[in-house]
Structure 1
Amino acid sequence: MTVRRAPRFAPFMGLGVLVGVVIAAIVAYAGPGDPTLTRESIFGFFIMVFAIPGLLLGALLVLVLDRISVRRSRRAVAERTYDDESHTD
């Protein structure tokens, strides 16, 4: 049996989206104003621009960490045990 710790995809991808949304907020609200567009519409545009690459970078990071965990996997021996006396060999 091989034992390893594999990372979960969802937290890394969610963190990538969250970082993208934060960057979008900084870019949208720190930049100069535009009289033809509202800050919220600019923010919505930049969410798409930064959240999708953040999602992809989070997925790429988890794939790299998964490859590292495969290399660090160890072999283990498992032995079956029983709680009651009816399964004795």
Structure 2
Amino acid sequence: MAFDRSRRGSDPRQAAEAAFRAVTRKVPEGSGPDGKTTEGKPKLAAKAAVPGVRETVSLRLDRDVLEHFQEEGPGWQERINAALRKAAGL
């Protein structure tokens, strides 16, 4: 039995990356109703965001920074979130 590559779709990793790019691009200001910007370039997809919903992310922190937030015990992730919101001016 021969392996039939013609039945295989595109590379799953490339498909996943393309899907991710499609939903994480920002819509530029001045978009036209035809799906293009006022300059005639294709309009980028808007990122759907639900207020108050948290996302799980992987974040690399220096060990001493992590220890600082963990010193007070449980709730260290919320403290990091609060510090990041304050630093971002949110």
Q: Same fold (TM over 0.5)?
A: no
Q: Which protein has the bigger helix share?
A: 1
Q: Which protein has the bigger strand share?
A: 1
**Larger relative contact order (C-alpha < 8 A, sep ≥ 6)?**
1
Greater CA radius of gyration, 1 or 2? 1
TM-score (norm 1): 0.26
TM-score (norm 2): 0.26
